[in-house]
Amino acid sequence: MRTSPLQSLFLFACLFALSYLRKYEAAQSDAGMIYIVYMGAATSATNKNTHSLLLGSLMRNKNTVVHSYQHGFTGFAVRLSKSEAQQLGKHPGVVSVFPDPVFQVHTTRSWDFLLYETSLLIDSNQHSSLDLPSQASDTIIGILDTGIWPESESFNDRGMGPIPSRWKGTCMDGQDFNSSNCNRKLIGARYYDDHGSEWQMHSARDSVGHGTHVASTAAGAPVPNASYYGIAAGTAKGGSPTSRIAMYRVCSPGGCRGSAIMAAFDDAIADEVDILSLSLGSSALFAPDFTTDPIAIGAFHAVQKGITVICSAGNDGPSPQTVVNVAPWILTVAATTIDRDFESDLVLGNNKVIKGESINFSDLRESPEYPLIDGVSAKASSAREEEARKCYPDSLDKEKIEGKIVFCQHNDTVFTMKEKLLGVKAAGGAGVVFVNDKARLVASKSGSFPMTVIGTKDAALVLEYINSTRNPSATILPTETITNYKPAPTVAYFSARGPSYSTPNLLKVPDIAAPGVNILAAWIANDTTGDITLQGKDPPSFNIISGTSMSCPHVAGVVAAIKSQNPTWSPSAIMSAIMTTAIQTNNLKEPITTHSGVVATPYDIGAGEVSPTGGLQPGLAYEIEPADYLLFLCYYGYNITDIKLISGQLPHGFSCPMNSSTDMISNINYPSIAVSKNVTKASVTVRRTVTNVDSDEETTYTVTVDAPNGLEVTVVPDALKFTRSTKRLSYQVTFLYSSPSVKDVVFGAITWKNGKHKVRSPFVVSSDLPGP
């Protein structure tokens, strides 16, 4: 991946900011800031001893210990000076010591992009493709987020059986929250105070909305007649309505502390959740290592205990190498649109109808009787033409736009759509039409001011019309919810993209895609902010928001269904089931595209769009043994001392291969394949092993290869014959890149079929990728 000069400049600016930040932190550090001391697995007695010895000495030294981790792994979060932190890092038994980072939830931040499309899940009548078998399930989904609004109808426990006896969690008392807020649906709630900031939580009650939204998307009970002020009306229900929810509140409005995230992992492992869903992460620029990333660390130990961990990929797309949460033991989720569109049409005086997009709260009349003016024609004398064309605040002449609908380009990032809209509103405009291709694919909330967003092609028609008549006029029609919108799904433009910066040889880019645009789900009941609550109306109990945050719990719901039908499957087998059964085509029966219309690659959507039911019966599974993850750490560059601490106990006879290198990561038994071209070699061969997980024991699979031009892909053997006694078989794939015309990055897929199942693995062959 090459970066453009502009990107490099941006990167440089950010790195500069980062190094400034680091310096600033360093200056602060002697006052004592919170560090996370990570000491590996909790399984060995030595680890536990070292932990209590270190803890004891810190307490004697009057260091404030914020959290002590001891269930899923060992370590603590403690206030230290920089030199104390350095000293502690050298202590035997300590894997890493690092400053407590602050992560963010993965909702799209900008008001402009609050709304995209709506979930497959939500309206079961029209969008049944994620309708899962409604069998009873005792799967427990743990969610690390901003807390929960327990009174929401989505968390009622009607018809649910007793809480599974294995559950060891708790419902913590807190401000406006006590144990009577938990029930058979919401079976657990914990919170972790944010010692590093002014945000004190004191309660698992959600004050943001995000956690409530995510929890109801994963496992909310069916709620008929749910809508956001009538928009997207239907029955709202989670991906696995029969699953239980345990909320771990690790985020305050100020962000999510790494030390709290690790404490929540530690508790969730002891509480015995089955699945963990995290719609949060670091920014793409701050790419922590696997031993300094609280999510990678917590997830590693959770997966070792058989818990499947699902994380959002981040919203820093569409630039390459923006994906986060890339550890191979995590299932990483990208965001796509669904087939619902919020249309708010612009009707011109010549009765031409231009399809626009927004959630309007407008009260304009339906006839096109409002004068229409191009921003540039309403230029204030002090402003420049370009500013007026884009309707910058204060660039328009109040007298010229009063009572009119103003036509504005919005292809800049100088001002947000909201800022421009407020400018037009303040100047007495009647409404506003924005031109923006990205936002046309989505719907923005415009408060109570009439607004719509149109694409550049349609904008030309509007300009032509304005030009053709002396008194141009128009109106903006109320929002209509269009279903069966085509094409869908498409990759949401904000969805983070691969390849992974740290592990290009692992096709970790996200792994899978799921709906993350305009998702209707439960909301906190007291959010009176203007962006959410309509003036003069009660706050809504459901809200529509977007982000990879919203796609992550969709996959958690699908994982819960797989887990409840196949309770003995390992997290890697479940991950494999999800990935190898993913969907690659849209509702036009054509390949899924990105927001800009080009065919999506695995760097955009990993294996494809999650299939709601395919993963229940995948046929074959690519399983990864715990020892394979340790090999991954060897290949990645960790030494055996650290790996032993991390895993607690090494499998018998385990050692890091002498020739460990990042190239060997391609051989991890991942359900997708990534190899880096090596200019000194003509070919690369990787190995995979599949396990027959179907009830048919005697079956033969044959291979189909979808290879790009210029790349020769050979699979040996090309048939796999499973029997009662032969459940696992291996094959080799050789990538021969003879043609010099082969591009830097090429994609393809290997599919095994037996007439009943299709087991597909995407691959990428790349050159020119940065290593760790």
Ligand X SMILES: *[C@@H]1O[C@H](CO)[C@@H](O)[C@H](O)[C@H]1NC(C)=O
Residues that bind ligand X (CB under 6 A): 176, 178-180, 205, 207, 224-225, 229-231, 359-363, 409, 411, 463-464, 467, 478-479, 526, 528, 639, 641-642, 657-659, 663-664, 678, 680-681
Among candidate residues 100, 138, 145, 374, the one labeled active-site is 145
The pairing of strands 346-348 and 340-343 is unpaired
Q: Are 109 and 225 in contact (CB under 8 A)?
A: no
In the complex with ligand X, which residue's Cβ is closer, 224 or 567?
224
| Rg of the chain over all Cα atoms, to the nearest angstrom | 27
Residue whose C-beta lies closest to ligand X: 478
Q: Please list the alpha-helical segments (H only) found in 192-275.
A: 210-219, 258-271
- The per-residue DSSP string of 428-451 comes to T-SEEEEE-HHHHTS--B-TTS-E
Q: Please list the alpha-helical segments (H only) found in 305-452.
A: 385-389, 398-401, 417-426, 437-440
Query: Amino acid identity of 512?
Result: I
In the complex with ligand X, which residue's Cβ is closer, 47 or 207?
207
- The per-residue DSSP string of 657-713 comes to -TT--GGGGGGS--SSEEEE--TT-SEEEEEEEEEE-SS--SEEEEEEEE--TT-EE
Three-state SS for 533-581 is: CCCCCCCCCEEEECCHHHHHHHHHHHHHHHHHHCCCCCHHHHHHHHHHC
In the complex with ligand X, which residue's Cβ is closer, 134 or 225?
225
Q: How far apart are CA 242 and CA 139, in angstroms?
A: 8
CB of 744 to ligand X, least distance (A): 14
In the complex with ligand X, which residue's Cβ is closer, 287 or 640?
640
Q: With CA atoms as reference, report the closest residue to 506 among 659, 330, 658.
A: 330
**Is 145 one of the catalytic residues?**
yes
Quote the distance between the C-alpha of residue 738 and its chain's center. 37
CB of 179 to ligand X, least distance (A): 5
CB of 586 to ligand X, least distance (A): 27
The tokens describing 487, both together, are: 């094409």
Among candidate residues 51, 210, 301, 410, the one labeled active-site is 210
- The per-residue DSSP string of 265-294 comes to HHHHHHHT-SEEEE-EE--SSS---TTT-H
CB of 529 to ligand X, least distance (A): 8
Q: How far apart are CA 93 and CA 761, in angstroms?
A: 39
- Main-chain dihedrals φ then ψ at residue 357, nearest 5 degrees: -140, 130
In the complex with ligand X, which residue's Cβ is closer, 342 or 731?
342
Residue 414 three-state SS? coil
CB of 194 to ligand X, least distance (A): 14
In the complex with ligand X, which residue's Cβ is closer, 222 or 708?
222
Q: How far apart are CA 392 and CA 421, in angstroms?
A: 9
Q: With CA atoms as reference, report the closest residue to 463 among 408, 424, 416.
A: 408
CB of 769 to ligand X, least distance (A): 10
Q: How far apart are CA 3 and CA 329, in angstroms?
A: 29
CB of 291 to ligand X, least distance (A): 8
> Which residues, 6 or more positions from 602, have their beta carbon under 8 angstroms from its beta carbon?
498, 507, 509, 672, 747, 762, 763, 764
In the complex with ligand X, which residue's Cβ is closer, 143 or 631?
631
CB of 411 to ligand X, least distance (A): 4
Among candidate residues 549, 647, 676, 766, the one labeled active-site is 549
CB of 632 to ligand X, least distance (A): 15
CB of 642 to ligand X, least distance (A): 5
Element (H, E) at 382: none
Q: How far apart are CA 329 and CA 305, in angstroms?
A: 12
**Is 458 one of the catalytic residues?**
no
Q: Are 303 and 628 in contact (CB under 8 A)?
A: no
**Is 531 one of the catalytic residues?**
no
In the complex with ligand X, which residue's Cβ is closer, 409 or 672?
409
Query: Amino acid identity of 758?
Result: K
In the complex with ligand X, which residue's Cβ is closer, 23 or 384?
384
The tokens describing 607, both together, are: 């294996």
In the complex with ligand X, which residue's Cβ is closer, 165 or 659?
659
Catalytic sites, residue numbers? 145, 210, 549
